Structure 1
């Protein structure tokens, strides 16, 4: 993630005395993303070198963070490949660094697959379904903080930056989603802990023959929250299964991901009936957040705001599409 809070090696070395991880060998800022300050951390202990990720949280609070960190620990304990938080000598997985919440997690193997094929999408669908089922026994509760109430709150901040057509689209879609979220069908949709941000750059694949790379795991759970599983699935499909230039869904990749998911957690008739609504909700969520980040940016050493028009195109495509991939 972009580095908002800079730290020196000496500051980190002193902070690491609260851990039993050995000696620091390297510390590198991670440039991608726009929410937290992240660093690759290399430690050596008893002649063995291990890789971790150090995160300093810029928006999330000490009160909010236990939900995310303990969810990751819960999923890792249930054989879902996610970063596992590392406890300090006192057993705590969250502590202060430069006055902000911070944590260390294990680093997953592999690299991002930014041009996924059918095989990669099927692996993502399978693991997403297993993650949803494993999360059912997670006892902590926290809503998705970037759901409908946040969209409604943020609308007034971003409207002045939009042209008349964009303003109309935003207002109409918010009205549509407000009605959908308030209905009986929405209330009946199954749900639980969700990643809520499972883009291509939040999953890693280990090296292998072309088309046979093994999914190394999901990471960056700091937008996670209790939500409808169909929303999590829609967010994922809207990124993994599209033509990036146009925003159009790719039927082969979409069906591969959905069928792999369905084989683990069968999708019900209410979910089928509202698939388009959720694809639209997923597109709206990220159109709003990208508009907010683009027009109301924060300072950061390596900030790279995303183009908000990407999700505007996706939203328009989901509204207009004659048919959508399904199981």
Structure 2
């Protein structure tokens, strides 16, 4: 969450009043992430304090946003722990602030767990499976905008900025993913709305009785229709790797896969292609981080992510490939 567009307290106050969310108490810019402008807003209504996130979308258009916001509303209404967007009296979820599309959603309680245990990973896996099932009857459709078509478009743009051995890895992996996408097994994969960016910093936990309790998934603004096993792979590539080295962490991965499978058992094609999707997930985030690092946008608060992390993850996934049975601890 960066700040590309400054929002005044007056502008935030007027929007919150329009939505019937109370009187603004405080407005604080958020510095994490890289895609949108985000503010934490606190209001008072009927003697109680309520916390929200005000987001101005820097890349997504007014036409694209209903998919994300309606999906979040759909999931929230089916009991999935996600921030619920707030509508005006006309039922609209997208508004204009400073000429940009904007939305207001509930702020989740708790904090992100950046050093997860198997217990955290199991809760993430089970909740992700429930999210996939809850979204299966969602009526709107939009492709994953950071999927294979985008990788094919962006890789030639970032290639001149990296070394020869990195270029070889990037090009060979892109060719491999194009071949996977053309296979019959890939065509058989079940699909639906996916989060597509379920990293440690996009999940909140509370502590209840001394134990971690997942309190919500957030930041759905990379969501799209794609394969559910790709979403699982993206999740595994963050929650279940050693961050300094990018090496697979078997106990956490086994806990996450087992919990996911207990809610939604994986089909044969998904078990076959999970190793390839782990590579796909690493490629997707290496490409996007190269793009953001070498072709950045101006922002008043911006923390660019290190591209080399997902280069290491991709190398580890290629050099130490495992079957689904090995990943799940069933071998």
With structure 1 as the length reference, what TM-score do the two structures score?
0.98
Deviation (angstroms), 1:17: 3.4
3-state SS, counterpart of residue 96 of structure 1: strand
1:99 corresponds in structure 2 to 99
Task: Report the more deviating stretch, 271-280 or 193-202.
Answer: 271-280
Deviation of residue 8 (structure 1)? Answer: 1.1
Matches of 1:185 and 1:139, distance apart in 2? 26
CA distance in 1, matches of 2:145, 2:161: 23
Deviation at 1:11, TM superposition (A): 2.1
Superposed, 1:189-204 pairs within 5 Å as: 189-204=189-204
Aligned match of 1:76? 76
RMSD: 1.0
Any idea what the Cα deviations from partners look like across 1:219-260, whole Å, max 9, x if unmatched?
Answer: 000000000000000000000011111111111000000000
CA distance in 1, matches of 2:266, 2:25: 47
- Give the corresponding residue for 1:126: 126
2:234 match: secondary structure: helix
Shift of the alpha carbon at 1:209?
Answer: 5.5
CA positional deviation for 1:301: 1.0
Q: In 1, distance between residues paired with 2:119 and 2:158?
A: 38
Mark the runs of 5 or more structure 2 residues left unpaired by the alignment.
none
Asked if residue 45 in structure 1 is aligned to residue 45 in structure 2, the reply is yes
TM-score normalized by structure 2?
0.97
Instruction: Tell me, yes or no, if structure 1 residue 243 matches structure 2 residue 242.
Output: yes
Give the C-alpha shift of residue 104 in structure 1: 0.4
1:156 aligns with 2:151: no
Matched with 1:326 is 328
Matches within 5 A, 1:1-327: 1-208=1-208, 212-323=211-322, 324-326=326-328
State how far apart, in whole Å, the 1-side matches of 2:321 and 2:13 are: 57
Structure 1 residues 315-324 or 139-148, which shifts more? 315-324
4+ runs of 1 displaced by more than 3 Å?
none
Quick one: distance in 2 between partners of 1:225 and 1:105? 19
Distance 2:264 2:223 in 1: 19
CA displacement at 1:15 relative to structure 2 = 3.1
- 1:171-204, Cα deviation, whole Å (9 max, x unpaired): 1000000010111110101110000000000000
SS of the counterpart of 1:213? Answer: strand
Give the secondary structure class of the aligned counterpart of 1:298: coil
Check conservation: 2:26, 2:41, Cα contact below 8 A. yes
Q: How many residues align?
A: 326
SS in 2 for 1:136: helix
